[in-house]
């Protein structure tokens, strides 16, 4: 088994970075942003690998007679009835589908990376899958917490404003900021403070070294402790209250957000 894989992997690695054209279905829909393209020479699969696959199937079907799952027996029997070529075709089709499935998954992962508050660029290695998921979770929790905080502040500001307004009805209106600006004015420093607590996990790290999965771990009760415990977001920018900041957290979501939505609605 090991030797079969060894041969196969040698071939696969040599075939990497070539265009994948074996299956029209896969090639038409797969843009493979995160994985190497693959050219599949079906002649390769016509040798040992598939001979052993056929043997494996046969031996398996022999063993499977002791199983209670008749469906599987029937399925294996149907497969052993196939000719060697049919088996090859079947195996190739299944492999191709699985490859495409994984590529779609990776595309979705790339879409997630794009909207993550993480320094992106040619010199930065992309987040691993596990890190992406953990970071996404923390990011969502942080946004939820920020939203709650903002709601509270808006409530406080409007409450205080209503009191002031009734107490100072006689004062000229120019002494009070427009109501539409009040929430933003009061929220801005707070938002930046929130952001600042989560801004510098990469200090001391090489720019090409994304945080490990463990580093992105989260507490057992994330929401209450969220603001005390840094989120380990990987922005390389320092945040200063009142200063404009180029980090992704302080910028509007990129246009690629839309592409992520369209991706998720693809099926």
Cα angle for residues 219, 223, 229 (degrees, 5° grid): 55
Q: Which of 29, 47, 84, 125 binds DNA (CB under 7 A)?
A: 125
Regarding 137 and contact with DNA (CB under 7 A), the answer is: no
Regarding 102 and contact with DNA (CB under 7 A), the answer is: yes
Q: Distance of CA 19 to CAs 16, 88, 101, 144, Å? A: 8, 21, 17, 43
Q: Distance of CA 6 to CAs 36, 50, 98, 112, 226, Å? A: 19, 14, 20, 34, 47
Are 58 and 46 a contacting pair, CB within 8 Å?
A: no
Regarding 78 and contact with DNA (CB under 7 A), the answer is: yes
Regarding 265 and contact with DNA (CB under 7 A), the answer is: no
How many residues lie near DNA (CB under 7 A)?
51
Q: Which of 27, 34, 80, 186 binds DNA (CB under 7 A)?
A: 34
Are 79 and 90 a contacting pair, CB within 8 Å?
A: yes
Regarding 31 and contact with DNA (CB under 7 A), the answer is: no
Regarding 168 and contact with DNA (CB under 7 A), the answer is: no
Residue 24 Cβ vs DNA, minimum distance, rounded to whole Å: 13
Residue 203 Cβ vs DNA, minimum distance, rounded to whole Å: 15
Residue 237 Cβ vs DNA, minimum distance, rounded to whole Å: 21
Are 145 and 221 a contacting pair, CB within 8 Å?
A: no
- Tokens in use for 47? 């040798």
Regarding 46 and contact with DNA (CB under 7 A), the answer is: no
d(CA 192, CA 245): 9
- Give the footprint of DNA on this chain (CB under 7 A): 1-3, 5-6, 8-10, 12-13, 16, 34-36, 38, 40, 49-50, 53, 56-57, 60, 64, 69, 72, 74-76, 78, 91, 93-99, 101-103, 106, 125, 128-131, 206, 208-209, 212-213
């Amino acid at each position: 088994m090991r030797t079969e894989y060894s041969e196969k992997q040698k071939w696969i690695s040599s075939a990497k970075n070539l265009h994948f054209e074996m299956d029209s279905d896969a090639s038409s829909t797969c843009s493979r942003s995160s994985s190497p393209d693959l050219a599949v020479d079906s002649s390769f699969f016509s040798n040992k690998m598939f001979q052993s696959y056929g043997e494996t199937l046969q031996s398996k079907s022999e063993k499977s007679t002791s199983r209670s799952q008749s469906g599987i027996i029937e399925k294996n029997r149907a497969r052993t009835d196939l000719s060697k070529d049919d088996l090859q075709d079947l195996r190739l089709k299944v492999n191709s589908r699985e490859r495409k499935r994984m590529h779609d998954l990776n595309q979705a992962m790339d879409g997630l990376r794009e909207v993550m508050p993480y320094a992106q660029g040619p010199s930065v290695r992309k987040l691993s899958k596990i890190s992406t998921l953990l970071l996404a979770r923390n990011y969502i929790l942080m946004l939820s917490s920020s939203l709650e905080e903002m709601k509270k502040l808006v409530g406080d500001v409007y409450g205080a404003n209503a009191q002031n307004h009734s107490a100072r009805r006689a004062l000229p209106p120019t002494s009070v900021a427009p109501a539409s600006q009040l929430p933003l004015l009061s929220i801005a420093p707070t938002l930046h403070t929130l952001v600042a607590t989560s801004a510098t996990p990469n200090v001391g790290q090489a720019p090409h070294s994304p945080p490990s999965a463990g580093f992105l771990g989260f507490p057992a009760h994330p929401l209450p402790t969220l603001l005390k415990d840094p989120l380990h977001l990987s922005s390389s920018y320092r945040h200063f209250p009142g200063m404009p900041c180029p980090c992704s957290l302080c910028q509007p979501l990129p246009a690629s957000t839309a592409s992520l939505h369209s991706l998720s609605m693809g099926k």
